[in-house]
Amino acid sequence: MTSQHSSGQRDGLPIRDWYAAAERPKPIRDRYAKLEKLTELGVPAYSYSFDPTDDLTSALGRYEDDSEGIRVRVAGRLESLRDMGKSAFAHLGDRSGRLQVYFRQDDLSELDREIRKLLDLGDWIGVEGELFRTRTGEVTIRVESLELLAKSMRPLPLGKTEVTDDGESVVHSGFADVESRYRQRYADLAVNPEVRAVFMTRARIISALRAKLDREGYLEVETPVLQPLYGGAFARPFTTHHNSLDRKLFLRIADELYLKRLVVGQLDRVYEIAKNFRNEGIDRTHNPEFTMLELYRAYADYRTMMDTAEELVTEAALAVSGELQVSYDGHIVDLARPWARIPFFEAIENFGGFDARSADTDELRRRVQGAGRSDAAGLSRTKLLDVIFSEWVEPELVNPTIVFDYPIEMSPLAKPKRGDPELAERFEVIVAGTELVNAFSELNDPIDQWERFSEQVAQRAAGDEEAQTLDEDYVRALEYGLPPTGGLGLGIDRLVMLLTDRSTIREVILYPIMRDDESD
């Protein structure tokens, strides 16, 4: 949408004429006419402040039966209006909920009557009056004074809310178009209370995790988003450029390497809740920018991290609903501890029915090809195992399952397993078919780390764009000495999806990425 807006103009018109122009939808022209009328009356359409005594839900809660005369002063957005001439009922809405207000002509000043007639759905108003219960039983404010806080110049796509006999709210002809909802999230939030609820839950989850980690003595830190080298995960990065340094920079794909440097520096328990950026495809479980919790704890290994993972997720679930049984995508997921724990190769044996560890690469390839993957010929043993795991095992795991002891080639930042150096002390938590947590005993041997980085560099040279780069400064940090450390990454967006029963990541990200809107 490109508009001409030089020197106070909009589409070549003085801005006031723009609102009144015939091309505007009628509701916008009407609202502008009301705005002018308000101005004539000397009523400011955009006020500066208001002091409510309560939010709408707590105002409602102050009413007790037979308790007439409770006076409240509240503010909110006009969500419905039933005008009966000399009186009118309306609902105000805010973050907490909605509350009915009753305008009675005889209760209002002459000016307030005029203002009331000029109200539109979507306007922000403040009212003051006493609570009472209507004939039909709804607690309502009898408005005695009215203040316009902000005029709405554009009709919100408000539906009509029907409250059925069993107390359910049904919205008729609401705002459902997915594309418009994401592009105009403000309208989505304004009109769909269940969308607001998702993001309030998201905030509760994050603060529960933060509170838990703070209690456990973890220090919250911030590490760079702009990095000269990227690392800590397998992914392609976004690149950018710093002008005055004249230097290429990457947006982080993970904060892992920076956090572990802090443990070297004796900040022995650290965490960060951070946006990561990965230059990859977009689908139901992937947004190019997403939020991840990473934490590192000195003297711990992956066994401790398994407990930590269980604690964090159950803590978050309890903060949301007080329950550990959550319904997700049509089935019940039981988050109660302890979670099932199963070694990686045993999981493949259980669900795939063969011993992948002793199978040679050709056999793995045959099996992957047999499952209809045409690209199997070009895949390395590591990638084949990855495919086998995600095709045969992940979809089967509904309740949280700790899958541990991954092949070491898949885990260049994890310590070799004690007594079995072909495996790494690494685990993932799979819930409802998707990966939620990734954790390991952190590799702290600088010599081993250098060799693992070197292998990654070789793979990169062989064409693997997602292989990691050799971060010499990180190895130097390890040379100073990283204590034995357990680390864990938890995908916040996916956790929110799980706990709010949303099947796409876009429903839990306020502003998911969209293509340019060139459809008009």
User: Among residue numbers 59 through 98, which ones bind RNA (CB under 7 A)?
Assistant: 80-87, 89
**Alpha-carbon torsion (114, 118, 121, 126), positive or negative:** negative
By the rule CB under 7 A, 11 interacts with RNA: no
By the rule CB under 7 A, 40 interacts with RNA: no
Stretch 449-488 residues interacting with RNA (CB under 7 A): 466
Minimal distance in Å, beta carbon 177 to RNA? Answer: 3
d(CA 472, CA 413): 14
Minimal distance in Å, beta carbon 23 to RNA? Answer: 7
d(CA 157, CA 173): 9
Q: Which is nearer to RNA, 123 or 310 (CB)?
A: 123
By the rule CB under 7 A, 130 interacts with RNA: no
d(CA 218, CA 196): 30
By the rule CB under 7 A, 517 interacts with RNA: yes
Structure tokens at 466: 């997602």
At a CB cut-off of 8 Å and minimum separation 6, what does 447 contact? none
d(CA 391, CA 386): 9
d(CA 163, CA 171): 9
Stretch 301-340 residues interacting with RNA (CB under 7 A): none
Q: Give the SS3 label for residue 242.
A: strand
Q: Which of 161, 314, 369, 469 is in the footprint of RNA by CB under 7 A?
A: 161
Site map for RNA, 250-289, x if CB under 7 A? Answer: ----------------------------x-xx-xx-x---
Burial grade of 73 (CB within 10 A; 0-12, 13-18, 19 or more): middle
Stretch 393-432 residues interacting with RNA (CB under 7 A): 406, 410, 428
Q: Give the SS3 label for residue 356.
A: coil
Q: Which is nearer to RNA, 37 or 210 (CB)?
A: 37
The one-letter code for the residue type at 449 is Q
Radius of gyration of the chain (CA): 29
d(CA 386, CA 393): 10
Q: Which is nearer to RNA, 77 or 278 (CB)?
A: 278
Q: Which is nearer to RNA, 36 or 179 (CB)?
A: 179
Minimal distance in Å, beta carbon 191 to RNA? Answer: 8
Question: SS3 for 141-187, per residue?
Answer: EEEEEEEEEECCCCCCCCCEEEECCCCCEEEECCCCCHHHHHHCHHH
d(CA 167, CA 173): 19
Q: ∠ at Cα 255 (251, 256), nearest 5°?
A: 140
End-to-end CA distance of the chain: 7
d(CA 468, CA 233): 7
By the rule CB under 7 A, 510 interacts with RNA: no
Minimal distance in Å, beta carbon 14 to RNA? Answer: 21
Minimal distance in Å, beta carbon 159 to RNA? Answer: 6
By the rule CB under 7 A, 167 interacts with RNA: no
By the rule CB under 7 A, 514 interacts with RNA: yes
Structure tokens at 364: 């793995």
Structure tokens at 374: 């045409």
Q: Which is nearer to RNA, 64 or 106 (CB)?
A: 106
Q: Which is nearer to RNA, 106 or 362 (CB)?
A: 106
Structure tokens at 446: 């600088």
Of all helices (H) and strands (E), which one includes residue 307?
Answer: helix 302-321
Minimal distance in Å, beta carbon 134 to RNA? Answer: 3
Q: Which of 39, 53, 57, 180 is in the footprint of RNA by CB under 7 A?
A: 180
Q: ∠ at Cα 418 (307, 452), nearest 5°?
A: 100
Minimal distance in Å, beta carbon 510 to RNA? Answer: 14
Stretch 18-37 residues interacting with RNA (CB under 7 A): 25-27, 30, 34
**Window of 51-59, 65-73, 157-165, 300-308 that interacts with RNA by CB under 7 A:** 157-165
Q: Give the SS3 label for residue 392.
A: helix
Partners of residue 437 on adjacent β-strands:
429, 490
Stretch 201-240 residues interacting with RNA (CB under 7 A): 233-235
Q: Which is nearer to RNA, 18 or 102 (CB)?
A: 102
Minimal distance in Å, beta carbon 460 to RNA? Answer: 12
Minimal distance in Å, beta carbon 520 to RNA? Answer: 5
- Sequence length of the chain is 520
**Window of 65-73, 135-143, 220-228, 414-422 that interacts with RNA by CB under 7 A:** 135-143
Query: Shortest CA distance to 508 belongs to which of 211, 289, 235?
Result: 289
**Window of 308-316, 322-330, 413-421, 512-520 that interacts with RNA by CB under 7 A:** 512-520
Tell me how many residues contact RNA (CB under 7 A).
77
Q: Which is nearer to RNA, 84 or 245 (CB)?
A: 84
Kindly report whether the peptide bond that precedes residue 446 is cis, defined as omega within 30 degrees of 0. Answer: no
By the rule CB under 7 A, 380 interacts with RNA: no
Q: Which is nearer to RNA, 179 or 445 (CB)?
A: 179
Q: Which of 173, 243, 266, 358 is in the footprint of RNA by CB under 7 A?
A: 173
Q: Which is nearer to RNA, 298 or 364 (CB)?
A: 364
**Window of 154-162, 213-221, 352-360, 440-448 that interacts with RNA by CB under 7 A:** 154-162
